[in-house]
Amino acid sequence: MTNELLLIISLAASFGGLLLFFSFFGKAGCTAWIVLCTVLANIEVVVLIKAFGMEQTLGNTLFASSFLATDFLSELYGKKEADKGVKIGIATTCVFMLFSALWPHYAPASGDRAMSAVKALFSSTPRILTASLAAYAVSELLDVRLYHALWNVTKKKSGSETKYLWLRNNAATLTSQAVNIVIFNFGAFFGVYDMKTLSAITASCYMIYIVTSLADTPFLYIARKIHTRRELCGTAR
């Protein structure tokens, strides 16, 4: 399979997986998805690939779906629950940082075959995870605040709480993801790649985020429709 096809499959699995988690588990499913994305994306991001003619790190689709999960919480349960989801993601990253920093320092048994791979994968993880934690905390908290600020503006303009969902979703996400990419890429990879390569990776990652941001909007509309139906039936969770 080509990298391009694998990324498309990953994008569909990320957004579709979140929607399934929400469909089955409601608010708790969104929070669980944030935890999954926080761990998996921080492992994926150490891999550099070339796809669609651009060099980029993996983890973009998973991180994008964590922003969507936050928007689910903002739209359906309010700012307080969205902030709680972000804080759980931050706490998860801190726990993952602790354990992944310990793994390479264990003395392996003579028959061990995994430690060399663990050391290769996680030797640079503390720096990557520190950059990831800073980028995640700043950008996700910004996303929640922008989302609700835009919601107040659109509600005042239209007199409706439901109109302009696409605007607050995309405007908040694209702005916060730009902040996320700059903080993470330069924090994690400055000095690892030359400036030309790092700038190219940053630009290509943001182009991916533009695509994922536009692609995630229908999933938010579907989630709101599911939630509204459950509220009418008295089964919202």
Domains of the chain: 3-233 (1.10.1760)
Q: Tell me the backbone φ, ψ of residue 57, rounded to 5 degrees.
A: -85, 155
pTM: 0.89
First to last CA, the chain: 39
pLDDT class for 84, splitting at 50, 70, 90? very high
Neighbours of 175 (CB within 10 A): 16
Return d(Cα 67, Cα 143) in angstroms, integer. 8
Q: Is the pLDDT of residue 194 over 70?
A: yes
**Burial class of residue 140 (count of CB atoms within 10 Å of its CB; 0-12, 13-18, 19+):** buried
Neighbours of 11 (CB within 10 A): 20
Q: Is the pLDDT of residue 132 over 90?
A: no
